[in-house]
A and B are shown apart, each in its own frame.
Chain A
Amino acid sequence: MSAIQPPAEIVWWKQPLDRVEGTWISIALVWSLFMFFMMPFWHVYGKQNLSSEAYRTTPQAFMAKTQAMVDQYTVRTETNLNLPVVRPPPGSDVYLAGRLWQWFPLLELEKGQTYRLHISSLDWQHGFSLQPVNINTQILPGYEMVMTITPDTAGEQTIICNEFCGVGHHTMLGKIYVTEGGP
């Protein structure tokens, strides 16, 4: 009987497996298991894993920490908005706040050094998309995500917001400048 009629054999579950099906199921199962184990494998041997380190926070508390870093490590300002460019010491905790419609502050990091990058939102949900290196994460208000990053390419990276956050969403940009390491 065809697939839109009841099965011809009442005891259809005893019908033996067709060989083409059995072979394909075995191959597909092996591939599925391979893909599954690839993820834990990469946690052990790969270098690009998103940390699960995160803390509950509030916009006020997060902004206070960000501002403290800005006050201490600002090296210059850019654009007619006088956006601070902050150069925190290698290995330190770096704070980045997403808010309507800006990534605050601009950052200057050193190539080959490791930083603990804390990111949170001060209002709605935002998306951290670092281009052109192409690293993308979700940023939520009330949650402080901590990524340990090691920039290994020098040059200018742009942070684009890639979670819709209202009518100015497409103007929400930020920068991470990566300088060549010191002498």
Chain B
Amino acid sequence: MSKAQFRTCPETGLQYHKQAEMLIRAHAVVAVVILLIGGIAALLVTLTRWPAIHLLPADRFYQLLTSHGVNMLIFWIISFEIAILYFCSSTLLKCRLATPKIAWLGFILMLAGIVVNNAAVASGTASVMMTSYVPMPANPNFYLGLILFAVGALIGCFVFLGTLVVAKDEKTYEGSIPLVTFGALTACIIAIFTIASGAIVLIPTWLWSLGLINNIDPAMYRVVWWALGHSSQQINVAAHVAVWYAIAAIVFGARPLSEKVSRGAFFLYIAFLQLASAHHLLVDPGLSAEWKIFNTSYAMYLAVLASMVHGLTVPGSIEVAQRSKGFTKGLFEWLRKAPWGNPVFSGMFISLIGFGFIGGISGVVMGTEQINIIIHNTIYVPGHFHATVVIGTTLAFMSLTYFLIPTLFRRQVAFPGLAKWQPYLFGLGMSVFTLAMMGAGTLGVERRHWDMAFTNTALSFDYPASAFTLMGIVGISGVAAILGGAIYILVTVVSVFFGKRVESESSYGFDMTTLSRADPLLVPDGGHEAAGKWGLAAPGTFVLAMFFLVIFVLYYAVNWKYLASVWPMS
């Protein structure tokens, strides 16, 4: 390998393999373009569900909701994730990317899939929602686009695995792979499972849409489709948790509290997360209660346990890092004195809190077998997953972008003032949006529904006025969050294509506290506990975790109480 194929970022010390760098850039740029398309759809959908505006006619609404779902949940996130896989393998292991030509083939297939699928939806012949439940038919190109994209993404996964092999073989690192790479490996393994499930369900469905297969069983379709649909969101969880650890390391030089625990938690994801396709089948006909209980709880909530562990160890590692720098006053000085003006950190921290408190708790509650009866397919469901996928994943990826712009693209972050506020506008707007949606869902407002007022229908129904108010709040906060998303796209596009070149760390466009080259923290005398309290290395984080648990327990209990008030049934 000639040295010329590598570039070392002078500020961060990160080493980029030229081919990997080009691929990461290409995937990230495509991801942001998709985010723009999905974002425009989001705006129009939001303005339609805002009862006072009710912008689009019904057919357009369903068409754009389909576009929004597929572009955001599949294309934006997985495109960005392939960029993350290449970064976590080639860049973090300082190693050449395996088979770059094949990686480019994967990229082209993904791009082709995006174009084919979007063209099918744009033609108006594939308004079937992201889930495309049979036997509702769609234009065959809808499925074909997804299949092409999946094959491309699968190639990306294998290039990632190949790169791990190359790094091991060429001894570019010693010992074990970094924790963040381990998290990316977790995401990759889940992605392979996901994509295989997607192939098993979408290839026959495509053939069915072409008239080559007679019948697809709708119950079977749902079981296998959700092994794609839900597991793809588990790729996100693994990926954004890896990004949280990465940002804690980048901004604070934080090291994991213990490698064993954090890696063990990722391992629990690999073992159990995929069972969650059952979350969508809890009120389906014919599945036994035993099957539902085992699967919906990821065996015995072992994947939830894993997320609760990460929820402690990520901020815990930040707390330990901050305490060893002297922020030891009280329980929370380490948090107060964190760099809240740095969007890399603020976005990551809002992502962590929003994912845990809003997305995590609501997900476990609605995934409880019986409680699902009062939640299934109400607008509570998108409320939940906008908290996990938008506040959790998308905001984490946005924060990482503010770090990648200077080191990967070598450009200053444009409009640093706007960038500083972006995570707050996006994260808090989205938090209100998701909470209002969950409130409306609790009042029975349906998801994927054009007209909650039921005007001009033979029969009618009146939701309580509070449901309309909540949907109005969904509209307002949704528009605020979309504005935050627009700022992200503006900052990213202007920085990458028109930004000033970076010369040193001081010209990044905003203050970074420490970067990855910062000296790894030394364990103080007497262990980390010495800088903590009560014999705990991270007492502030522990208090936050207990606060989280109290909210969790209360909300769980309230929902059982609500369930107990509905008609008895068996």
Contacts and interface: CB of A to CB of B under 8 A. Distances in A.
A180 to B, nearest CB: 15
Nearest to B280: A138
B284 A48 contact: no
Contacts of B248: 3
Interface in A129-171: 129, 131-145, 147-153, 158, 160-167, 169-171
Nearest to B447: A162
B317 interface: yes
Given A17-B260, A20-B538, A152 B459 contact: no
Contacts of B62: 164, 167, 169
B376 interface: yes
Nearest to A158: B461
Contacts of A36: 293, 297, 300-301
A181 interface: no
Contacts of B301: 32-33, 35-36
A72 interface: no
Interface stretch (B22-30, B142-150, B191-199, B305-313): B305-313
Nearest to A16: B258
Contacts of A68: none
B245 to A, nearest CB: 4
Interface string B37-78: 000000000000000000000110010000000000000000
A56 to B, nearest CB: 9
Interface in B72-122: 92
B537 A18 contact: yes
Interface of A: 1-10, 12-13, 15-21, 23-25, 27-29, 31-33, 35-36, 38-40, 42-43, 46-52, 54, 79-81, 83, 123-125, 127, 129, 131-145, 147-153, 158, 160-167, 169-171, 173-175
B364 to A, nearest CB: 7
A36 B272 CA distance: 14
B551 interface: no
B529 interface: yes
A83 to B, nearest CB: 7
A110 B293 CA distance: 33
B141 interface: no
A131 B253 contact: no
B535 interface: yes
A12 B24 CA distance: 30
12 contacts: A4-B249, A17-B260, A18-B538, A24-B312, A36-B293, A48-B569, A79-B458, A127-B377, A143-B285, A158-B459, A161-B446, A169-B450
B135 A124 contact: yes
Most buried by B among A40, A140, A175: A140
B279 interface: no
B179 A7 contact: yes
B176 A52 contact: no
B423 interface: no
B568 A21 contact: no
B175 A21 contact: no
B454 interface: yes
Contacts of A4: 92, 178-181, 245-246, 249-250, 516
Interface string B537-570: 1110110011001001100100010011011111
B259 A136 contact: no
Contacts of B528: 18
B283 interface: yes
Most buried by A among B58, B254, B286: B286
Nearest to A147: B569
B511 interface: no
Contacts of A31: 549, 552-553
Interface of B: 58-59, 62, 92, 127-129, 133-136, 173-181, 217-219, 222, 245-246, 248-250, 253-262, 281-289, 293, 297, 300-302, 304-305, 308-309, 312-313, 316-317, 364, 368-370, 372-378, 442-444, 446-451, 454, 456-461, 463-464, 516, 518, 520-521, 528-529, 532, 535-539, 541-542, 545-546, 549, 552-553, 556, 560, 563-564, 566-570
Given A25-B261, A127-B376, 13 more contacts: A3-B178, A3-B245, A6-B177, A7-B178, A13-B259, A21-B313, A35-B368, A48-B370, A48-B567, A133-B566, A140-B218, A140-B284, A165-B136
Nearest to A43: B289
Contacts of B529: 18-19
Q: Which 5 pairs of residues, A with B, have the shortest CB-CB distance?
A: A32-B301, A54-B286, A145-B285, A2-B249, A54-B285
Contacts of B364: 35
B360 to A, nearest CB: 12
Contacts of B300: 32-33, 36
B449 A169 contact: yes
A2 B257 CA distance: 10
Contacts of B174: 6, 10
Contact of B373 (A52, A81, A137): A137
Contacts of B175: 6-7, 9-10, 12
A3 B314 CA distance: 10
B377 A162 contact: yes
Contacts of B560: 38, 42
Contacts of A27: 546, 549
A77 B389 CA distance: 47
Nearest to A81: B458
Contacts of A42: 369-370, 560
A18 B302 CA distance: 20
B357 to A, nearest CB: 15
Nearest to A79: B458
Nearest to A102: B458
Contacts of A164: 62, 128-129, 133, 448
A1 B258 CA distance: 11
B245 A24 contact: no
A152 B556 contact: no
A124 B127 CA distance: 14
Contacts of B128: 164
A73 to B, nearest CB: 20
Contacts of B217: 142
A31 B548 CA distance: 12
Given A20-B539, A142-B217, A174-B459, A52 B289 contact: yes
Given A6-B174, A51-B570, A20 B454 contact: no
Given A79-B459, A150-B569, A21 B516 contact: no
A125 B257 CA distance: 48
Contacts of A147: 569-570
Contacts of A29: 305
B563 to A, nearest CB: 5
